[in-house]
Amino acid sequence: MQLFVGLGNPGSKYAKNRHNIGFMVLDQIASDHGFSPWKSKFQGQICEGRLGGDKVLLLKPETFMNLSGQSVGEAMRFYKLEAGDVTVFHDELDLAPGKCRVKQGGGHAGHNGLRSIHAHITENYQRIRLGIGHPGRKELVSAYVLHDFAKADDDWLNDLLWGLSDGAASLADGDTSRFQNAVALRVNPPRSSTSAKAKDKPNKPVEITPPAEPDSRSTLQKLADKFR
């Protein structure tokens, strides 16, 4: 059994925030893969289903971001899981929007949700870092992550969520390369050579020359016209 955790803040006020991309991922996976209905448990919302050959629990802590570890630790203890059975989906300021990276262990880089999880279950869990970009200055970070995604972000955000869901079974099976390939195919789909040529070199209109009219002049007239 595995535990997939999405980080975010509870309530409709925060639902579309950049900080809530972890919740968005789990909602997409649950919907696409036929998971059970969400129910309240472990200070959060949880549902279950199968990905690949493994049973997977999806958990959205409702403790608010800074206390996410309380919910994760409670669920782990109940199901007798180890930190290595846990995968956490979270927003990442240090990655460009739409980028996805897998990380095992390591520091929390100041992310309050990860900081809390570190304190409750150690750092030996897997993370899926989801790029949301950086506002440019440290003092702008709090307002930036607690602000809704812009309308202009819809295309890459939807592609990223679909890609994460497409690759979820591979992730559960431990095949992170195949998982990231699935994400990349959604976010950066390959262009066919035919469509690329058509785009780079558009067809020019063909110029049609009308046929010449038959020459009805006599031989004598043709000769005379030549010397005029």
- pLDDT tens digits, one per residue of 140-197: 999 999 999 999 999 999 999 999 999 999 999 999 999 999 999 999 988 765 544 4
pLDDT at 158 (0 to 100): 97
pLDDT at 53 (0 to 100): 85
Averaged pLDDT for residues 59-80: 97
pLDDT at 33 (0 to 100): 97
* 60 pLDDT above the threshold of 80: yes
* DSSP per-residue letters across 140-204: GHHHHHTSBPPGGGHHHHHHHHHHHHHTHHHHHTT-HHHHHHHHHHHHSPPPPHHHHHHHHSPPP
Return the active site residues: 19
- Supply 155's token pair: 């295309």
* 83 pLDDT above the threshold of 80: yes
The residue with greater pLDDT, 204 or 161, is: 161
Assigned CATH for 2-187: 3.40.50.1470
pLDDT at 123 (0 to 100): 96
